[in-house]
């Protein structure tokens, strides 16, 4: 049966997260419902990344199988059905064994912090009105790239076989008074980015030393990390696949120019 990928983006505010959950509204559930209506079948998608409640995505993917004919106006019709908080960007065709989660080469996240009260950033950043040592933020970001085991930054009760993650980039930038953390890796653990950000902020405020930060990573003990930063500051920014895995089905139906 043919397999297709949908590129999606969404504002996670008001949703219980990406993954389908019982008695809760999820991003994946809304996408599945829209597909089911349009394709007149009970559709179940498989997602690339499971963002938590309140977390946003500039880019995420799901795949699904169907024998139904794909029409050029599918993206338009799905966007007409879906909430304004969820947008379908483009539909792709792929091989029957391509997998949205397992075939991803890398994932990139960003976390936005703002210092001054701004109602327009309330759902798109973390209000953190405390002085930060920028040099410490940069130093701790550099330390992250030295390690591969991030057990200390994985939430409890996570069902993973390994805590190994290959960090491709980790850096802070300051843009118009905001601090934005960028991180790219082959995979991430549940809560990992928020744990890293919270612990880096604690270090940059002088609540612990840079060596303390390094010891937390090496300790492989998540009781030492700080996961307290708010979900609305976190964005899944980009997912990359091997070249040629995804082929746009209708080149001119993309909502992005």
Rounded-to-integer distance, Cα 173 and Cα 107, Å: 19
Positive or negative torsion for Cα 155, 174, 104, 64: positive
Rounded-to-integer distance, Cα 178 and Cα 246, Å: 35
Alpha carbon 115 to chain centroid, angstroms:
23
Rounded-to-integer distance, Cα 57 and Cα 54, Å: 10
Closest CA to 2 of 64, 77, 48, 45: 64
Rounded-to-integer distance, Cα 69 and Cα 91, Å: 13
Q: How many CB atoms lie within 10 A of CB 226?
A: 19
The reply to whether 73 belongs to the active site is no
Q: How many CB atoms lie within 10 A of CB 141?
A: 19
Main-chain phi, psi angles of 119, to 5 degrees = -60, -25
Q: How many CB atoms lie within 10 A of CB 124?
A: 15
For the chain, how many helices (H) and strands (E)? 5, 10
Choice among 52, 65, 85, 123 that is catalytic: 52
Rounded-to-integer distance, Cα 189 and Cα 47, Å: 16
Any idea which residues carry the catalytic annotation?
A: 52
């Amino acid at each position: 049966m043919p397999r297709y990928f949908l590129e999606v983006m969404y504002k996670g505010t008001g949703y219980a997260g990406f993954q389908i959950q019982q008695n809760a509204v999820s991003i994946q559930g809304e996408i599945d419902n829209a597909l089911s209506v349009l394709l007149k079948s009970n559709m179940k998608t498989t997602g690339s990344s499971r963002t938590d409640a309140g977390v946003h995505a500039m880019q995420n993917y799901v795949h699904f199988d169907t024998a139904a004919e794909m029409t050029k106006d599918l993206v338009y019709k799905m966007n007409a059905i879906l909430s304004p908080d969820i947008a379908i960007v483009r539909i792709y065709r792929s091989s029957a064994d391509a997998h949205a989660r397992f075939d991803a080469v890398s994932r990139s996240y960003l976390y936005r912090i703002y210092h001054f009260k701004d109602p327009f950033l309330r759902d798109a950043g973390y209000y953190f009105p405390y002085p930060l040592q920028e040099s410490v933020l940069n130093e701790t970001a550099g330390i992250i790239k030295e390690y591969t085991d991030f057990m200390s930054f994985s939430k409890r009760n996570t069902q993973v076989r390994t805590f190994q993650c290959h960090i491709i980039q980790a850096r802070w930038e300051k843009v118009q008074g905001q601090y934005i953390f960028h991180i790219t890796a082959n995979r991430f653990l549940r809560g990992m980015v928020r744990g890293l950000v919270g612990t880096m902020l604690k270090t940059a405020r002088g609540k612990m030393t840079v060596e303390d930060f390094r010891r937390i990573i090496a300790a492989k003990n998540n009781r030492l990390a700080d996961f307290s930063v708010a979900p609305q500051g976190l964005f899944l920014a980009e997912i990359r696949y091997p070249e040629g895995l995804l082929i746009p089905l209708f080149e001119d139906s993309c909502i992005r120019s």
